[in-house]
Amino acid sequence: MDNMINSNFAESDSHKKQGVQTGTTTVGLVSKEGIVLASDRRATMGYMIASKDIDKIYAVSDTIGMTIAGGVGDAQTLIRWMQAEIRLYELKHEKSISVEAAATLLANILTQYKFYPFFVQLLIGGVDERPRLFSVDMLGGITEEKVTSTGSGSPFAYGVLEELFKEDKDLESNLLVAAKAVGAAMRRDAASGERVDLVGITKSGFKRYDKEEIKKIISS
C-alpha cells in the first residue's frame, strides 16, 4: 500500500513478547451526515522513529474507511484482504456492502486467526443508510461506537473527545474535534507525532483532506 513500510507502528520483537503496543493515535467520530476518521503520521520501531509520513487511514470501499494501528505487515494484509472481499461482494450482489457487514467480515477474519493473531487495533466506519462506526480488536471483538480512539495516544485523545464531541454536530465541526484530539495525543505520546491526518466519509464518498485544508480546519 502507499506510504507503508516494513516495520511496526508500535512494537519491536522484544515488545511483542511483553504484549501488543499500538504506538499510534487514531480517532473515529459519528457526525450527522457522515464519519470522521483521524490519525497521526508517525511510524515507530521500538524507540526509533521509522517514518514521519505514514498513512493510517484507508478506503476499503467508496464509502467505508478503516484505520490501522499495530504491526504494519498485519495491517497491510488486512487492508488488501478487506478491499478484495468487499469488491467480490459488490460484484456478486451488484450492490454496495453495508458498514455493519464490512465490520462483521473484518471481525470474522480476525476471529479465525485468534490463536495466531494479527497484531492490530482497528476502526472501520462509513455511511449506508446512516453513518456507522465500529471498533474491532485483534481477536475479532466488535463494538459499535459513536466516538472512539485507539492506540497508545488514546487516553490523551479521549480527554478532548469527552469534552468536545457532540453526535449532532455536522461533519465540519467534528473534523475540528478529531484534529484537536489527535493533536493533544501527539503532544503527550512519544509514539504519536508529525501531523494530523483527516478523512471525512459521506454518501458522496471518501475524502482525505490535504495539509492546507487541515491547517484551515485547525485554525478555524
- b/e per residue 15-27 (b: at least 16 CB within 10 A): beeeebbbbbbbb
The phi-psi region of residue 94 (left if phi > 0; otherwise alpha if psi is between -120 and 50; otherwise beta) is: left
Query: Which grid cell is 51?
Result: 517514518
Q: Look at residues 49, 20, 53 and name the one whose alpha carbon lies nearest to residue 39.
A: 53
Among candidate residues 22, 24, 25, 150, the one labeled active-site is 24
- Catalytic residue check, 24: yes
Yes or no: say if 134 and 103 are a contact pair by the CB < 8 Å rule.
Answer: yes
Residue 116 CB partners (closer than 8 Å, separation 6+): none
Q: Look at residues 180, 188, 82 and name the one whose alpha carbon lies nearest to residue 134.
A: 82
Query: Which grid cell is 24?
Result: 499510534
Beta bridge partners of 198: 38
Query: Known catalytic residues?
Result: 24
